[in-house]
Amino acid sequence: MAVRRILGLDPGLRRTGWGIIDSSGNRLSWVGSGVITSTADRALAHRLAELYARLEDIVVEFQPTEAAVEETFVNQNPDSTLKLGQARGVALVVPARMGLTVAEYNNATVKKAVVGTGAAQKDQVAMRVHRLLPGILVTKADATDALAVAICHAHTGRTNAALAQARIAAGAGS
Amino acid sequence: MAVRRILGLDPGLRRTGWGIIDSSGNRLSWVGSGVITSTADRALAHRLAELYARLEDIVVEFQPTEAAVEETFVNQNPDSTLKLGQARGVALVVPARMGLTVAEYNNATVKKAVVGTGAAQKDQVAMRVHRLLPGILVTKADATDALAVAICHAHTGRTNAALAQARIAAGAGS
């Protein structure tokens, strides 16, 4: 069975969580994860360039072929939303430019895929991520969130593949 | 007198205005300008990758050494603000990664620099941009706005240079 290597991202200007998993049939495994931080006292353009370079390094090192980015919660504060959008633009553009497919999932979809309910608490998501990925070495919340997005994408891709299989079996073509 | 070549940008997900001017002492001249549009039916990550590639082409073609990006008006609508932020992240990261200095100016500062008052109307800004840049071949509003940001940066740089000169003349060092 083919292994899919998925990069999950939870973008933010101060902290961007990233997580890489392998998905093969029903089996998931942890490959790597971490948090990219940016120094608040540098100019915005340089912070974004830093984020770009770090994400590029991660793609080069781990060679994922698919990316999944969290459709982050839109803040009430327009300034925060603009900042988040800027980091998110970089998080989307790096994998796209490097030839990965890029999917987006909102928070409720991620929670539903990982815990089973869109109303799950943050610590429930974290516990479930650790259970689903044996051998995981990760502690930071942003990295766990990124792994949750990757798991969500692995499940969704499997569902799509199963549906495609079913369509082929039913003789309906693709 | 050294010539500064400045790239002005007015970013947006659907339309990003760009304009390049040369600034030498008190003289400004128009080099090029246009609008990058993105196709709404493509996935967001691909639209941002398109924007990245077009901006990169412009920097390679015109070789500016300084960039100035409009601190765009933050919308009441959080979704629009997030979209704008994503395009703005790309508009900031491309020149930063290509070694240009990147400055940011808010709308009122741009109007004040170009027209003389932060409360100027859009058509007053456009008229003034055309007057300041003889030989200009530009019609689209987003391109005119981008040229206005470039002019603002040219003025600001000149003011900073004049202040530095005055400080040196006064024996205060840098």
| Digit-coded pLDDT (tens) for A129-160 | 999 998 898 778 899 999 999 999 999 866 55
- Lowest mean pLDDT: which of A126-130, A138-142, B95-99, B101-105? A138-142
Q: What mean pLDDT is reported for chain A?
A: 88
Catalytic residue at A104? no
CA separation, residue A165 to residues A161, A170, A172, A174, B67 (Å): 6, 8, 10, 9, 51
- How does residue A98 score in pLDDT terms, banded at 50, 70 and 90? very high
Q: Is the pLDDT of residue B83 over 80?
A: yes
Instruction: Note whether B89 contacts A89, CB cutoff 8 Å.
Output: yes
- A97: which chain B residues are within 8 Å (Cβ-Cβ)? 49, 52-53
Q: Is the pLDDT of residue B6 over 50?
A: yes
The interface predicted TM-score (ipTM) is 0.84
Query: Higher-confidence residue: B63 or A167?
Result: B63
- Residue A90 near residue A51 (C-beta atoms within 8 A): yes
> Under the phi-then-psi rule, with left for phi > 0, alpha for psi from -120 to 50, and beta for the rest, what region is B38?
beta
Q: Distance between CA B151 and CA B50 in Å, rounded?
A: 26
Report the pLDDT averaged over residues B104-113: 94
Q: Which tokens is B120 given?
A: 């100027």
Spell B42-57 as b/e; 16+ CB within 10 A means b: eebbbbbbbbbebbee
Instruction: Note whether A85 contacts B81, CB cutoff 8 Å.
Output: yes
> In chain A, pLDDT over 70 holds for what percent of residues?
87
CA separation, residue A7 to residues A21, A154, B164, B165 (Å): 7, 10, 48, 51
Contacts of B7 (CB under 8 A, 6+ apart): B18, B19, B20, B58, B59, B62, B64, B66, B67, B68, B95, B100, B150
- B48: which chain A residues are within 8 Å (Cβ-Cβ)? 89, 92-93, 96
- The number of beta carbons lying within 10 Å of the beta carbon of residue A66 is 19
- How does residue B166 score in pLDDT terms, banded at 50, 70 and 90? low
Looking at residue B172, its pLDDT comes to 44
- How does residue A85 score in pLDDT terms, banded at 50, 70 and 90? very high
Looking at residue A173, its pLDDT comes to 39
Nearest CA in chain B to A101: B45
CA separation, residue A47 to residues A2, A158, A171, B40, B96 (Å): 37, 36, 52, 28, 9
pLDDT digit string, tens, across residues B117-158: 988 898 999 999 999 998 898 778 899 999 999 999 999 866
- CB half-sphere exposure, B28, CA atoms < 13 A: 26
Query: Higher-confidence residue: B137 or A86?
Result: A86
Catalytic residue at A142? yes
Element (DSSP H or E) covering residue B104 = strand B101-106
DSSP A42: S
- A45: which chain B residues are within 8 Å (Cβ-Cβ)? 67, 69, 92-93, 95-96, 102, 104
CA separation, residue B46 to residues A94, B50, B53, B159 (Å): 10, 6, 10, 40
Report the pLDDT averaged over residues B43-71: 96
Q: Which of A134-143, B5-14, B73-82 is most confident?
A: B5-14
- Taking the Cβ of residue B78 and every Cβ of chain A, the question of whether any pair is shorter than 8 Å is answered with yes
Q: How long, in residues, is chain A?
A: 174
Q: Is the pLDDT of residue B174 over 50?
A: no
Looking at residue A167, its pLDDT comes to 56
Looking at residue B169, its pLDDT comes to 60
Report the pLDDT averaged over residues B150-171: 69
pLDDT digit string, tens, across residues A16-55: 999 999 999 889 999 999 999 988 888 999 999 999 999 9
Q: Which of A22, A66, A142, A145 is catalytic?
A: A142
> In chain A, pLDDT over 90 holds for what percent of residues?
66
Q: Which of A77-86, A160-169, B85-94 is most confident?
A: B85-94
Report the pLDDT averaged over residues B4-11: 97
